[in-house]
Structure 1
Amino acid sequence: MAIISLAPSRKLYYWNSPYPPIDQSASARQFSHNSTSKYWWSTIIKKDAEALASTSAVPPQSYNDADIGREGEIVEEAHRNFNNDTEQLVSSYREAEEITITLIEPELYKGATVGDVKLFEDILSDQEGIERVCKLVTPQLNTVLHVAASFGQLKIVKLVHKHCPSLCVKTNSKRDTALHYAARDGHLSVIRFLIENFKGDIETGNVQVGEGLLRMKNVDGNTALHEAIRHGHVKVAQVLLEKDEELATFVNNVDESPFYLAAEAGLTELVSGLLKMPIDHMVQEKQEGKTALHAAIVEKHTDTLKILIDQKSKLIKSRDNNGRSAIHYAAYSGYSQAISFLLENDVSIAHHKDKDGMSPIHLASINGHVNITQDLLKRCPDSRELLNQRSQNALHVAIECRKENMVSFMLEAPELEKLINERDVDGNTPLHLATKHGHAMIVSILVRDKRVDATVRNNEGETAYELALHGTSQFSVQKILSAVALKSANTPRSQRRLFFQKNVQDTALDDKATMENFRDRISTLVLVATLIVTITFAAGFTLPGGHNSDDADKDEATLLLKSTFHIFVISNTIAMYSSIVAAIMLIWAHLGDLNLLDFALRWSMVLLAIALTMLAVTFAAGVYLVVSKFAWLASVVSAMSFIFLFCILALFIPLQAPIFPRRGWMRFMSTFTLNFLLFATGLEPRGWLRD
């Protein structure tokens, strides 16, 4: 560790150690980690160097992505396990050396970026200037050589290297050398110069024994070759490999080899060259067991894919840590060309299953890739019989992931007819799953197909219709719409059950708990019913047009003989008495009997729907009577009333789907309303099995 003084009042403690520091005096620990490099980095700004006395450290532990967010906990646990070593480590840190650094001046920094040779010649003309240039760094600890190499200023690189050769292997805060920067930005001339003029005997603590400039790694474990390939600089990569073929075997901290990165970037020329290299142990896999072929398919590099299949056909059957081979990746991403190439070489891979039992046809169905499914069925017809670990076929998983296009395709394909009513491990058919997950549009598609058997029961003894009524409330609106679709198709229901629970004996709630859950709902409905009674009562004595003042017809309504007035009175009366009955029923629901609660909630909702609808009709009729002398205004009022009356019915019909009759005009109305509400409430499906 080094204490780097940037200013007299501010010191930067810069840790570059395989051991993570713990600041015992801080209430919150902040760690900047690299989960794959096996190195811990922490930058702590303090005003007093004596804070080191309270700092201890512990040896590093095994670390993976699952530990992200648990750094403090992991370090504390390690600290407890290694108490015996703490004192020794603290002592070594207390011996830290204070080093004062000099930040590069703006003029010199700019000169390095634009190639101001004269400026550097003047500065490097004497020993004092040489020593000064050798010590200058940027805030990220980049030397002048880093800056010049990054901008491809070869003349500046030559001048600096001539007078300060040790800068060639100096690293910045991320352990990048000047060669890393030149490779990253594709400056071939700078690369050649640094390689040809590197002196292996330069005294530096940054180069390990037996390791040269080309093999130096940064904090991510990348060599200059990794950086060149990652940024698509083929020529630079070729030059580096010509100098040291063994670079092809180096992997970074996430186990990515140059060969893997080249395939991932689609650098066909480089991939071909690497395959011709006489290195038998060239690493081809990365973390999680993915091969170069997996990478080429994910990025859809067709030319690279062809080369890999032709020259490394054994990669076709290679699987990652999840058991997925190349064809799984191609099917999931919808890469039809890859599917064709892979199946032409080996059709048996269509039966490959991953650890979850997912075959390529399952993964194609998950993302709705109809063309991939067609190709798989054409080349391997028996793939339709493949099941995952839950005994689900391709239609099951397509429905779970809400792929309407895939469902429609499978219903239209005669060879897939046996999938339509197949049951999974829980006894659920595709119709059950569509209902369970609240995919009302898919339910509507399925029930229109006469081959779909809606009478099938799952292992719980439920039909799809019963599942729609008694399932969980996670997708409440969609499940109501599913019930409407099932009802409109005359799907059967074996017995009457409480609409708010599947079976009282099967639930964990007792009668009292159930009543508590519905108490707020009942109170709200009572309030609504009371408001409707109040409004309709007032409307009954505040008639449109007022009363006659003649002695003969005194107190009679002025508009009594008009038919619209009759509609006003009838609809107002229906609204009032419907709401009164609903309020009384809801009061009875407070008695605590679950069957009575079920009955009251069912029918009070129907009565309130009627009351609100009639209230709307009452208002429309009353306004029409008042403005009837103006034909255009009366027409506008009538049109608006019909539109909103339809909307009211559309919103209430799905709520009452479980008790509406399954035939006649109500069935037609519910079907028509369903299509409208499916459009209004349609939700995009969430991705499944995404990495």
Structure 2
Amino acid sequence: MDPSLYKAATRGDVATLKRLLEVDPTILDSKTPQLNTALHLAALHGHTDFAGEVLNVKEELLVAKNNDGDSPLHLAARYGEKGVVELFVRRARSWPPEDPTTAEGPLRNPLMMANKAGDTPLHDAVRNRRSAVALLLLDMNPDRGHDLNGLGESPLEIAAREGLVLVVERIVKHPWAQQVSVNHHVRGTALHQAVLGRHIRILEILLEKRPELIDLTDSNGNNALHYAAKKNHARAVEILLNKRMNLAYKSNHEQQSPLHVAAHYGSTDAITALLRCCPDVAEMEDNNGHTAFHASVVSGKANAIRCLLRRVVRAKEVLNHVDKNGNTPLHLAASMSHINSALVLLNDGRVDPCVLNRDGQTARSLLEIRGEMDAYELHLWTQLMRHEPIWCRNQPVPPLRRHKGSASAPGDFRERLGIQVILASLVATVSFAATVTMPGGYSQTEGTAIHSHRAAFKIFLVSNTIAMSSSSVVLLCFLYPVKYNSYKVNQVLWGQRLTCLACLAMIVSFMTAVYVTVAPTVRWPVDMAIAIGASTPVLVILILGREVIFVPLQFILSIFNRFVSQINLLISI
């Protein structure tokens, strides 16, 4: 494109345009490397007067396409240039009606043109939330609200997802030129899109004006209630169920009910709303025989399991329901190493840990046949072992198995214990050295610590003692041999817990030692050292995940519960 014309088009300089046309009447035929004409540039920058002057000279540029197949009207609609759109709409009124035989001809109607993505100007307007432009285009041709683009989306569906209430009202107010007869939209109907966008007002409009949409599904068989369950939109769940209660019992192509979807995504609000209206939907199974409990376990959503435990009627039967492989939710949690979910289930008194699957395995034996267990799996294994004598007194359960890992597993096991012993030794050495030297030194006359009267020093003393004692216990316990096949799980777990406690206590003693010795002279390095030290546990949680604290918390809670039960027993005596 001529540089002078390019600058004039981007600035809206009509006078320069007229001078250029006097010199070269064909200058408007020039294009940019992306095939944009001067009219494209004027539409893009919202220069109405310049665009009008171009159309007066060469009106056919209104249907010129750039490299993406966009007409000038596409660009004006996309960027919300209402004045330019009004100009183009006025010009388009005199355009001949669209003729399928000449659809690619030079006089195709600008309002009906589609770019390479199949989008009309109305698609671009609603996708970019240009409500005023979209309404202007709909005034010209209301039927365009149902045109499908290359992705099978209509402007109505996009407007519903984007929350354009006035646009949706205008489209559904006009009688449909062609009723929607396809029952499997790839992306769902406008009702699905309204739920995805969490637009309650649009949802209500569509249910009132187009109630037939409520029975339509997407290409996977999901109705609008499935979408509401996925998005954890309790209000949408309630509205849809009030309109059509049996939606809760409609399954998609994998036989998953909306409750299955809510459980899979951890949508606790949607679970509550579904079970409040349809409590028996918890009994539904999918293709694998999974209930909502199974679905929440498979996805590892412990919050969904807790919600289901509180809300499901006849939870005991549903909790211990087996799938096609004979697995209960507890079986799946153990086999998939979803420790958090397994412990939540196990702590509920209605869960039966003695159920055998088709292979004759309990949740405990499934853990054993997996091979080498990490610390979290060992913790779950001990909890299952503790429950079996209570639940399985008169039931046959698989015998305790020896650990069946790989050929190198025993060496790996001893190597891990060796690392733990080395770490405990280092912590004990450092703690002992810190006690001998004492932060700030000793008084030469009295032989006592100089800062012994300060609160920070007392915290240092306590934390350093915890570090020293915890690491010493680990070392003393591991003086006794730990055989790989003996399953001395408590010894290993206690060693890990005490080593972690020693490390944390050592961090506290370090921070207090820095505070005692450095703070009296300069403060900002002390604050920085304390901040860095305090962030250490947070970094560990971020790196290893929330389960790194869940298992210790479960352990602490179990000890607390046992302590409370013993106190209650003594009181009753």
**TM-score bracket for this pair, using the shorter chain length:** 0.7 to 0.9
Q: Distance in 2 between matches of 1:684 and 1:467?
A: 20
Structure 2: unaligned runs, 5 residues or longer? 439-446, 502-536, 549-573
C-alpha contact 1:263 1:304 (8 A) present in aligned 2: yes
Per-residue CA distance 1:293-351 (angstroms, 9 max, x = gap): 01110111111100011121221121111111110000111011111111111111110
Q: Residue 303 in 1 paired to residue 131 in 2? A: no
Q: Distance in 2 between matches of 1:421 and 1:673?
A: 36
Q: 2:53 aligns with which of 151, 159, 164?
A: 159
Per-residue CA distance 1:544-569 (angstroms, 9 max, x = gap): xxxxxxxxxxxxxxxxxxxxxxxxxx
Alignment CA distance shift 1:476-1:667 (3 Å): closer
Residue aligning to 2:363 = 464
Residue aligning to 2:44 = 150
Q: 1:137 aligns with which of 31, 34, 38?
A: 31
Q: Residue 377 in 1 paired to residue 269 in 2? A: no
SS at match of 1:355: coil
Residue aligning to 1:262 = 159
Residue aligning to 1:420 = 319
C-alpha contact 1:443 1:485 (8 A) present in aligned 2: no
Residue aligning to 2:344 = 445
Q: Residue 318 in 1 paired to residue 207 in 2? A: no
Q: 1:350 aligns with which of 248, 251, 262?
A: 248
Q: Residue 120 in 1 paired to residue 24 in 2? A: no
Segment of structure 1 superposing worse, 306-315 or 260-269: 260-269
C-alpha contact 2:55 2:61 (8 A) present in aligned 1: yes
Hey, which of these two has a bigger chunk of strand by percent? 1
Residue aligning to 1:240 = 137
C-alpha contact 2:225 2:240 (8 A) present in aligned 1: yes
Q: How big is the shift at 1:609?
A: 8.6
Alignment CA distance shift 1:356-1:395 (3 Å): same
Residue aligning to 1:222 = 119
Q: How big is the shift at 1:195?
A: 2.9
State the structure with more CA Rg. Answer: 1
Alignment CA distance shift 1:453-1:136 (3 Å): same
Per-residue CA distance 1:670-691 (angstroms, 9 max, x = gap): 99779999x9544589xxxxxx
C-alpha contact 1:440 1:485 (8 A) present in aligned 2: no
Per-residue CA distance 1:375-396 (angstroms, 9 max, x = gap): 2112112112111111111111
SS at match of 1:251: coil
Q: How big is the shift at 1:418?
A: 2.2
Residue aligning to 1:192 = 86
Q: How big is the shift at 1:637?
A: 5.8
Q: How big is the shift at 1:168?
A: 1.7
Q: Distance in 2 between matches of 1:292 and 1:487?
A: 52
Residue aligning to 1:7 = none
Q: Distance in 2 between matches of 1:316 and 1:228?
A: 26
Question: Counterpart of 2:147 in structure 1: which amino acid?
Answer: F
C-alpha contact 1:171 1:177 (8 A) present in aligned 2: yes
Q: Distance in 2 between matches of 1:345 and 1:625?
A: 73
Alignment CA distance shift 1:114-1:454 (3 Å): same
Q: 1:293 aligns with which of 172, 181, 191?
A: 191
Q: Residue 213 in 1 paired to residue 110 in 2? A: yes
**Aligned residues: CA RMSD:** 4.1
Q: Residue 180 in 1 paired to residue 74 in 2? A: yes
Q: How big is the shift at 1:413?
A: 4.2
Alignment CA distance shift 1:673-1:418 (3 Å): farther
Residue aligning to 1:522 = 411
Q: How big is the shift at 1:268?
A: 1.6
Q: Distance in 2 between matches of 1:165 and 1:682?
A: 63
Q: Distance in 1 between matches of 2:245 and 2:78?
A: 41
Residue aligning to 1:660 = 488
Residue aligning to 1:689 = none
SS at match of 2:34: coil
Q: How big is the shift at 1:172?
A: 0.8
Residue aligning to 1:337 = 235
Q: How big is the shift at 1:176?
A: 0.9
C-alpha contact 2:316 2:351 (8 A) present in aligned 1: no
Q: Distance in 1 between matches of 2:228 and 2:168?
A: 20
Per-residue CA distance 1:64-114 (angstroms, 9 max, x = gap): xxxxxxxxxxxxxxxxxxxxxxxxxxxxxxxxxxxxxxx231x43333223
Q: How big is the shift at 1:288?
A: 1.2
C-alpha contact 2:215 2:223 (8 A) present in aligned 1: yes
Q: Distance in 1 between matches of 2:545 and 2:386?
A: 19
C-alpha contact 2:305 2:341 (8 A) present in aligned 1: yes
Alignment CA distance shift 1:136-1:651 (3 Å): farther
Alignment CA distance shift 1:373-1:141 (3 Å): same
Q: How big is the shift at 1:206?
A: 8.4
Q: Distance in 1 between matches of 2:38 and 2:65?
A: 11
Q: Distance in 1 between matches of 2:388 and 2:499?
A: 15
Question: Counterpart of 1:386 in structure 2: which amino acid?
Answer: M
Residue aligning to 2:292 = 394
Q: How big is the shift at 1:489?
A: 4.4
Alignment CA distance shift 1:411-1:194 (3 Å): closer
Q: How big is the shift at 1:242?
A: 2.9
SS at match of 2:320: coil
Alignment CA distance shift 1:313-1:156 (3 Å): same
Per-residue CA distance 1:121-145 (angstroms, 9 max, x = gap): 3223x2x43212x122222111111
Q: Distance in 2 between matches of 1:422 and 1:153?
A: 68
Question: Counterpart of 1:455 in structure 2: which amino acid?
Answer: C
C-alpha contact 1:170 1:206 (8 A) present in aligned 2: no
Q: 2:262 aligns with which of 343, 346, 364?
A: 364
Q: Distance in 1 between matches of 2:150 and 2:302?
A: 42
Q: Distance in 2 between matches of 1:675 and 1:460?
A: 38
Q: How big is the shift at 1:660?
A: 3.0
Residue aligning to 2:514 = none
Alignment CA distance shift 1:159-1:657 (3 Å): farther
Q: Distance in 2 between matches of 1:289 and 1:610?
A: 53
Return the TM-score normalized by structure 1: 0.61
C-alpha contact 1:322 1:355 (8 A) present in aligned 2: yes
Segment of structure 1 superposing worse, 490-499 or 323-332: 490-499
Segment of structure 1 superposing worse, 645-654 or 271-280: 645-654
Per-residue CA distance 1:135-166 (angstroms, 9 max, x = gap): 22222111111101111111101111112223
C-alpha contact 2:470 2:498 (8 A) present in aligned 1: no
Per-residue CA distance 1:437-473 (angstroms, 9 max, x = gap): 1122222223333332222211111111111121267
C-alpha contact 1:402 1:439 (8 A) present in aligned 2: yes
Determine what percentage of the aligned residue pairs are the same residue.
26
SS at match of 2:176: coil
- The correspondence of residues 27-66 of structure 1 with structure 2, limited to 5 A, is none
Question: Counterpart of 1:241 in structure 2: which amino acid?
Answer: L
SS at match of 1:137: coil
Return the TM-score normalized by structure 2: 0.72
Alignment CA distance shift 1:151-1:649 (3 Å): farther
